[in-house]
Amino acid sequence: MNILELDTKEEFDGNKKEFWLNLKIDGEEFLKRIDSDLNAAIFEELENSLNGDNDYLIFTCACGIADCGGWKKTQVKYAMGKTIWTFEYNDKKYNFEFDSQFYKGEIERMRFELNKSKLKLKPDFIMDPE
């Protein structure tokens, strides 16, 4: 079983502070592990993924255009108390299994934090893969 952890991170664009979702899997910042800093995770899509089996654009390019970063949607499936992610990136297949209750709890915790801090996360523009 994998562990999903959510947090925010600050980055400076010139002298403007920006906030991004820091998505960790098994204690490691996932997008850093697989690539450079040019990708982003979309919190709203994680929230949407609580609605059930479907494809969700959980990861995208930092500019918000999925095709720019070569991202497809992540297939999310619920089975036997698990939330299962399957996707491909750079010709590599990824598969993660989260405990559905922890998964939901972590996303709801992040939503609570975001509401409290009123942070607006980047990217602010999102375009699905074609």
Nearer to Zn ion, 71 or 103 (CB): 71
Q: How far is the CB of 87 from Zn ion (least distance, A)?
A: 18
Over its C-alpha atoms, the chain yields an Rg (Å, rounded) of 14
Report the alpha-carbon distance of residue 4 to residue 13 in Å, rounded. Answer: 27
CA distances in angstroms from 123 to 16, 45, 81, listed in the order given = 14, 12, 31
Q: How far is the CB of 65 from Zn ion (least distance, A)?
A: 5
Nearer to Zn ion, 3 or 64 (CB): 64
- Whether 69 and 38 have beta carbons less than 8 Å apart is answered as yes
Q: Where are the alpha helices (H) located in the chain, listed in sequence order?
A: 30-34, 43-48, 66-69, 100-117
What residues make contact with Zn ion under the rule CB under 5 A?
61, 63, 68
Q: How far is the CB of 68 from Zn ion (least distance, A)?
A: 3
Report the alpha-carbon distance of residue 6 to residue 102 in Å, rounded. Answer: 12
Nearer to Zn ion, 25 or 63 (CB): 63
Q: How far is the CB of 123 from Zn ion (least distance, A)?
A: 9
Nearer to Zn ion, 57 or 61 (CB): 61
